[in-house]
Structure 1
Amino acid sequence: MSALRIGVVGAGRISGVYLRTLARLPEVRVVAVADLDPARARRAAEPVPGARASEVAGLCSAEDVDLVLNLTVPAAHAEVAHAAIAAGKHVYGEKPLAATTREAREVLTAAARAGVRVGCAPDTVLGTGLQAARAALDAGAIGRPLAATAFMTTPGHELWHPDPEFYYRPGGGPLLDMGPYHLSALVTLLGPVRRVTGMSARPADRRTIGSGPRAGTAFPVEVATHVTGTLEHAGGALTTLLMSFDVWAGRLPHIEVYGDAGSLSVPDPNEFEGPVEIRRAGDRGWSVLPVAGGHRAADRGHGVADLARALSAGSAHRCGGELAYHVLDVMESLLTAADSGRTVELASTCDRPDPVPPALV
């Protein structure tokens, strides 16, 4: 297969991680980088062999771009995706797929009409950690899954990010920012979600930037920063979820799955690797499972390469638009449930993505 030619829109903090990863993947080749700040686009493109700095509109319409990698802030995800789709380009975006499910569905509908593909982060589900856990569940290693827990706690991104405001605007918050990692993992492990209920809070109306040239600057908080809920998966398992920007320290596991014949401890879904531990009924302690597929020592960008391979093979890509839409629907429904005090039935569903076998890596 020839390398899929990539145009990157958005040269912010995460772009450097993608560009380093994509440079070593033979399925893809970065040809252009665009940003609202032309100087930032030039700095990002300079170390990438053969890549040029570009304007956003010019990148989306460029004849030598096959796929637009959308690394903009969440509020701009849908706008950039539509520009790329209108130009006949495939799109792979950072999470979430869009700021709302309405916007996300419009993107998917436009892509279907144009005959192009939509992919979306996170691609950490393609790593050895989640894939080993998936293989164990599929093999019945802990019996029938009954329940799961998923926790993400931090005191807030303003402590380390020099421009953190977008994390606290609509489309941000702990659930929409970090929830896609945990929820994509949970859907990969346990299947789609049928209904949700939950509660949320916003303990502080303002936060203060803690690093960089704007340290000490206060900014408003427009979204819930502590969200907790219960998810009922289509297979019957119940997940307890906690996403918070208000916890200074904790010892909670990232993800655990509890079956009728044992328990499974899953590593951080924000990472590609990590030990998967199992304790079966009758065991005296936990043991580490062997790797069963997935990408080792990986970083952001493998989802783009997976889409490129799927295009060549005519198969489904794993970090697909419908998975990302369902995850966004889960998050939006959970916030609706928290605001209304009722259980919300989900209108969407999706297939579990195919596992990543060792032969593919």
Structure 2
Amino acid sequence: MGSSHRIGIVGLGVISRAYLDTLATAPDAVITAVADLDHARAEAVAATLPSARAVSVAELLGADDVDVVLNLTIPAAHAEIALAAIAAGKDVYGEKPLAATFGDAEEIMRAAADAGVRVGSAPDTVLGTGTQTARAVIDAGEIGRPVAATAVMATPGHELWHPNPDFYYKVGGGPLLDMGPYYVTALVQLLGPVVSVIGAGSRLRSERIIATGARAGEVVEVEVDSHVTGILEHGSGALSTITTSFDSVGSTAPPIEVHGETASLIVPDPNMFDGEVRIRRLGSGEWDAVPPRAGTIGTARGAGLLDMLRATNGTAPRASGAMGLHVLEVMTGLLESARSGSRAAMTTTVERPPLVPLA
């Protein structure tokens, strides 16, 4: 694969550990610099990486030995860091969502096109065997014409486990923008791009109490809807219903179900790479397991970044900025529809990326 791709990481919070573990085993990638608002945290991470040094964000963006910036900051900072990296001539791969607002995401994609650099965006969980196997079944015509899908993410809220959950309840957060990218990206992978949405939202309470860590007992103000539901109209004609909630004690509903003319599928949690796909065919009373037939087995976060780095000859990355932009428009469209009470038409579209071969 040639020389190693040199990566600088901005933001070393909870999610960074998964990326660090994945990149540490990649033979064609090397982490050369890390930065965080907490410089001591950056120094601690750098101490575990013989190839990396702890620097400021400005130093990382200007470094000659950083080719791609891995942006793991909070959503409110996604656009600022991505645009600065693009201005420095560097490729960018960011955590989801692509930006806190659709306008910011559009600016990122315009700037990248003008600069001739690449943009990738999580989630890359859809590249695992769970979502990819389900898509292989659909693409093979085994459920007939897809008619509908349901997606459900229902939890009591991240303040129960996260030591610093504030950003989940501020603009750019909420259950839809936080967890929705996994579900909407999976639905687009399975059924194709979305042409319009209708949404509704509610807010159970105005405050949340942190339950764990040094800040346990502190109050977090809720600035966004904590329960969002809606309907996605896919260009294929299929209709998806999505519910994302921080107001539920729990749910027994499958994460995703896809219904076709001749069969229905249960699709595993799109927040995970793997999981069992099950199919129930018309006339059968049983749900049968589908052995993995597509996707990367046993992979983890960072797979989408490596896919982008390894894409050659103009091949679009599977976890692309274009996918992130379309998914963000779907989600912000749902939120706008919830506010206005009107259907929101999409202005973007995206091609489904090639199926990931079983490996």
TM range (shorter): over 0.9
Question: Which residue identity does 2:74 align to in structure 1?
Answer: V
Q: Where does structure 1 differ by over 3 angstroms across 4 or more consecutive aligned residues?
A: none
- 2:152: which partner in 1? 151
Answer yes or no: is 1:93 the counterpart of 2:94.
Answer: yes
**Residue in structure 2 matched with residue 341 of structure 1 by the alignment:** 341
| Residue identity matched to 2:127 | L
Shift of 1:49: 2.8
Q: Which residue of 2 aligns with 1:180?
A: 181
Deviation of residue 293 (structure 1)?
Answer: 2.2
Question: Matched residues in 2 for 1:267 and 1:45: separation?
Answer: 35
Alignment match, 2:117? 116
**Residue 266 of structure 1: CA displacement?**
0.2
Counterpart for residue 195 of structure 1: 196
Q: Secondary structure at the match of 1:69?
A: strand
1:25-104 counterparts in 2 under 5 A?
Answer: 25-104=26-105
Q: Specify the alignment match of 1:207 in structure 2.
A: 208
Q: Which residue of 2 aligns with 1:331?
A: 331
User: 1:222-261 alignment to 2 at 5 Å?
Assistant: 222-261=223-262
Query: How far did residue 332 of structure 1 move?
Result: 0.4
Q: Residues 128 and 274 of structure 2 are in contact (CA less than 8 Å); yes or no, is this contact kept in structure 1?
A: yes
Residue 248 of structure 1 aligns to a residue whose secondary structure is coil
User: Residue 313 of structure 1: CA displacement?
Assistant: 4.4
Q: Aligned AA for 1:125? A: V
Question: Displacement of 1:64 after TM fit?
Answer: 0.7
Q: Is the 8 A contact 2:296 2:357 kept in 1?
A: no
Inter-partner Cα distance in structure 1 for 2:104 and 2:44:
31
Measured in 2, the distance between the counterparts of 1:65 and 1:44 equals 17
Separation in structure 1 between the aligned mates of residue 15 and residue 301 of structure 2, nearest angstrom: 9
1:195 maps to amino acid:
S
Residue 300 of structure 2 is matched in structure 1 by 299
**Shift of residue 284 of structure 1?**
3.0
Match in the other structure for 2:314: 314
Give the letter aligned to residue 232 of structure 1: E
TM-score, normalised to structure 1, is 0.98
Deviation at 1:160, TM superposition (A): 0.5
SS in structure 1 at match of 2:350: coil
Residues 16 and 44 of structure 1 are in contact (CA less than 8 Å); yes or no, is this contact kept in structure 2?
no
User: What value does the CA root-mean-square deviation take over the aligned residues?
Assistant: 0.9
Q: What displacement does 1:253 show?
A: 0.9
TM-score, length of structure 2 as denominator length: 0.98
Deviation at 1:346, TM superposition (A): 1.0
- Say yes or no: does 1:279 pair with 2:246: no
Cα 1:282/1:27, change in 2 over 3 Å: farther
Tell me the secondary structure at the aligned position of residue 201 of structure 2: strand
Counterpart residue number, 1:264: 265
Cα deviation, 1:269-300, whole Å, max 9, x if unaligned, reads 00000000011112231111121121222211
Sequence identity (%) = 58
What are the Cα deviations for residues 63-101 of structure 1, in whole angstroms up to 9, with x where unaligned?
Answer: 111100000000000000011111110000000000111
